[in-house]
Structure 1
Amino acid sequence: MYNLKTKAYKGGRFFLACIGLFMVSSCVFRPNYTRPPVNVPEKWRLPVHEACGLANIYWWQQLGDPVLEALIIEALKNNYTLQAAMASVEAYYSQFRATNSQLFPQITGDGSALRQGLSAQSNLGLAQNLRLINSFSALLSCAYELDIWGRLGSASDVALAQYLGEIQARRTVILTLVSALANSYITLRQYDEQLQVAQQTLNSFQESLELMTDQWEQGESSELPITQASAERDTAASLVKQLEVNVAQQENLLCILLGRNPGNIRRGKILEELAQPPSIPAGLPSDVLEQRPDVMQAELNLIAAHANVGVAKANLFPRISLTGYYGNESFALNTLFKGAACAWQVGTTFSEQIFNGDSILLN
């Protein structure tokens, strides 16, 4: 006799077992990161407000050259290396979202309309005397992996640390780009001044040579001073040519940083007009050390490696999932959405690799 109470009791036990599995889903192998001790100064050498200001300034603005600031803004928009770094950040963010989504139930909708030819010797064909059958279904299925061993949580931690580390890598590219562009611009202005002085020297030697040539033609001097003046003029001319090459090379370097084709670079203030930025004091506390993107990226890489240990340990244990579906199944389309066509299933699955050539252990 059908015992509804017994079935309800068994169903309740199964439901409680599923709830128990869900409640014991804990980070068993999800390691907690502890920052290694770092020996840093305990206080500033400058007053706190002044030191903090120095740590957070846009130092290139302290030079007071609007042309340099405009070039830096252009480089931040157009530099190819920076664009690649920004694209890498977006890729790591997408990877983090994809990894983190595994922590949530995976719900899918499935539908089918099939026509099947049965063998006359099959059980269904013999019993029903059928050779052709139709089947229709519209189901909503759900699967949820219980993160009992902390594998999914640790994998999410790895992806998050890698994403944040890539943000710091982008900051490193920005700081390196700005520093390289500012240094190249200042070097260009130095070459400009050297070229100006060399051109003036060349003009002076040329005037001296012309004067001595006139004196020699009038018989007032020998040919030796002319030879000496000509050699000095040629030396000055070669220096001018070399400085012109240096200026062109420096402009090409700036164009590369700006993401341009080689060409001329607009000039701003001369070196004497540039303001001297304040010097950053040595021995800064840890909060300034932590603002360095390379230091922050190194720590985030350490965090990712630390969390990856939890993933490796959890991979040694079975993966347990809750699965189920709910929907309608029928042999006729006109009865697919009637009450009698309702179908459902709920249960648990687990999988454990028996042999994998030690790939998990070696990982």
Structure 2
Amino acid sequence: MYKFKIYQYIIALSICLFVVSCKTPEIAASNTSKTIPEAYENPSKDTINTAAIPWKNFFKDQNLVDLIDTALKNNQELMITLQEIEIAKNDIRMRKGALLPSVGIGAGAGVEKVGRYTSQGAGDATTEIKPGMEFPDPLTDYKLAAYAHWEVDIWKKLRNSKKAAVSRYLSTIEGKNFVITNLIAEVADSYYELLALDNQLQIVRQNIQLQTNALEIVKIQKESARATELAVQKFQAEVLSSKSKEFDILQDIKVTENRINFLLARYPQEIKRDNSNFLSLLPSAIQSGIPSQLLANRPDIKQAELELVAAKLDVKVARAEFYPSLDISGAIGLQAFKPSYLFQLPESLLYSLAGDLAGPLINRNAIKAEFKSANARQLQAMYNYERTILNAYLEVSNQLSKINNLEKSYDLKSQQVDALNRSIDISNDLFKSARVDYFEVLMTQRDALESKLELVETKKEQLNTVVHVYKELGGGWK
């Protein structure tokens, strides 16, 4: 009858724990929207997408392909990202292990001496193991046992925690893919910048030669009283200015080469390249496909989506903390006060089995705070996912527009360069016949130099924009 009442109390307490624990806060609504325009500004709905082209086929310059290949093997940032993947993989193993019982084995020995005039000491003194034998004093204890503990995952807390770890592991893989596509684009950007600087250096040196020749003519004209010392000094200053620009470009070339070497994780060395036909390079044709393909192609979008999945699971894990937890523990082994008795069965056999049901009842502020934080992190992940999609669409839209505008700009600048090249010859002839003064010759040469440098810069922008739109469509990592 007494035992029956105890069972009634235990059952009543368990019900109270369950009822109180079920009063949990509500999970914040997180209705993510994948709504995205059906097309870019161009109304075409052609699904052919340049992002599907492997990077080795997208880039035609073998020197650039070799540089990218080396970067993908050696780049330190990529190596760091790979270690993050390993960390996430180990986190999965840890969460998976929490689902299984933990089993251990141990051995121990000890000695205890209690006062004879105590309840335990008096009892031991009068207790006999066998007739005529008393407990040994002091009392030794030898134990060899296996222990087990298992938290029963009745609320799927541990399983959801493992699923969240899996999502974060997959997220790190997408993060690695995002690093790869950015790395490829960065190497290509720097390579084309290097080619542009080489061509600008060549243009400046040609201009120096042209200005030097004009200077010599002015000096001759001064001797024949057809020009003044002012004209000589003006032409001399222009030559010095161009030589100064030459060294500025040389420094930019060095910096750009070292930037590429850094991406390739190597110390400074010359970058192999062919800069002979830079202005005749044609940007690769781009097929943008449809915007919805960004969801599958862009690693940063997939990474944000997986982070959102993990955040939702974290909320479920935090909510499960309000519920009672069921722990089962047990042990089996051998125990005796003398080594010779340790393996005498069944006298030395020990075993135990216990189940504990416990849940938070009072002062649950810490659990509530963690639940609210998990809710907030879930909303953060949702907004980040939506922002990533919006940013991806706008990036592609900007680059597609830039391709069209740069193409028109390059055509106009080419015509400008041709016109100024002709004007240089005309101004030189007129200057020799004293029909224009030296100032017009100087301004014509200066304008021609600037227009040629701008033309090279526009060509570089064209090539880099194609690289950027390839990256922003989600190409490069496959």
Aligned residue runs from structure 1 range 127-138, under 5 A? 127-129=123-125, 130-138=136-144
Aligned residues: 329
Alignment CA distance shift 1:60-1:216 (3 Å): farther
Does residue 249 in structure 1 map to residue 245 in structure 2?
Answer: no
Instruction: Identify the residue that residue 19 of structure 1 maps to in structure 2.
Output: none
Contact 1:115–1:134 under 8 Å retained in 2: yes
Alpha-carbon distance between aligned partners in 1 of 2:117 and 2:61, rounded to the nearest angstrom: 91
For normalisation by structure 1, the TM-score amounts to 0.80
For the residues of structure 1 that align with 2:282 and 2:350, how far apart are their CA atoms? Answer: 79
Which of 143, 150, 154 is the matching residue for 1:144? 150
The letter of the residue matching 1:81 is: E
Q: Which residue of 2 aligns with 1:82?
A: 78
Give the Cα separation in 1 of the matches to 2:230 and 2:33.
75
Deviation at 1:162, TM superposition (A): 1.6
CA drift of 1:260 comes to 3.1
Aligned partners of 1:221, 1:179: CA distance in 2, in Å? 53
User: Any idea what the Cα deviations from partners look like across 1:138-177, whole Å, max 9, x if unmatched?
Assistant: 1111111111111111111221112211221222111111
Matching residue within 64, 68, 78 for 1:72 = 68
On the 8 A contact 2:174/2:303 being kept in 1, the answer is yes
Give the alignment partner of residue 167 of structure 1, picking from 162, 173, 185: 173
* SS of corresponding position for 2:140: strand
Residue number in structure 2 paired with 1:360: 367
**Cα distance, 1:35 vs structure 2:** 8.3
Give the structure with the higher percent helix: 2
- Residue 344 of structure 1 corresponds to 351
CA contact (8 A) 1:125 1:131 kept: no
- Write the distance in 2 (CA, Å) between the matches of 1:202 and 1:327: 94
Q: Find the partner of 2:278 among 267, 271, 286.
A: 271
- 1:206·1:233 contact (CA, 8 Å) conserved in 2? yes
State the distance in 2 between where 1:175 and 1:356 align: 50
Q: Per-residue displacement from partner, 1:171-222 (whole Å, max 9, x unpaired)?
A: 2111111111111111111111111111121122223334544565577765
Letter in 1 for 2:290: G
> 1:62-111, CA deviations, whole angstroms, 9 ceiling, x for partnerless residues?
22222212221222233222222222221122122111211111111121
State the AA in 2 paired with 1:233: V
1:296 positional shift: 0.6
The structure-2 alpha-carbon separation of the partners of 1:152 and 1:142, relative to structure 1 and needing over 3 Å to count, comes to: same
Is this contact kept in 2: 1:143–1:322, CA < 8 A? yes
Q: Please report how far the alpha carbon of residue 315 of structure 1 lies from its aligned counterpart in structure 2 after TM superposition.
A: 0.1
Q: What residue number does 1:176 align with?
A: 182
Decide which of 186, 198, 211 is 2:204's aligned counterpart.
Answer: 198
> Deviation per CA, 1:222-269, whole angstroms, max 9, x where unpaired?
534422321221222122122122212222322332223445333245
Change (3 A) 1:169 1:122: farther
In structure 1, which of residues 322, 326, 338 is the aligned counterpart of residue 332 of structure 2?
A: 326
Alignment CA distance shift 1:152-1:161 (3 Å) = same
CA contact (8 A) 2:145 2:333 kept: yes
In the alignment, the residues of structure 1 paired with residue 156 and residue 311 of structure 2 have an alpha-carbon distance, to the nearest angstrom, of 15
Trace 1:94-133 onto structure 2 (pairs within 5 A). 94-129=90-125, 130-133=136-139
Decide whether aligned partners of structure 1 residues 144 and 273 sit closer, same or farther in structure 2, where only a CA change above 3 A counts.
Answer: farther
The two structures, once aligned, show a CA RMSD in angstroms of 2.9
Deviations 1:307-336 (A, max 9, x none): 111111110011102221222112222332
Structure 1 gap ranges (5+):
1-28
Alpha-carbon distance, 1:45 to partner: 5.2
Measure the CA separation in 1 of the matches of 2:290 and 2:118: 85
Q: State the SS of the aligned residue for 1:189.
A: helix
Shift of 1:60: 5.5
Letter in 2 for 1:106: S
Q: Which runs of 5+ in 2 are unaligned?
A: 1-24, 126-135, 371-478
Distance 1:124 1:289, change over 3 A: same
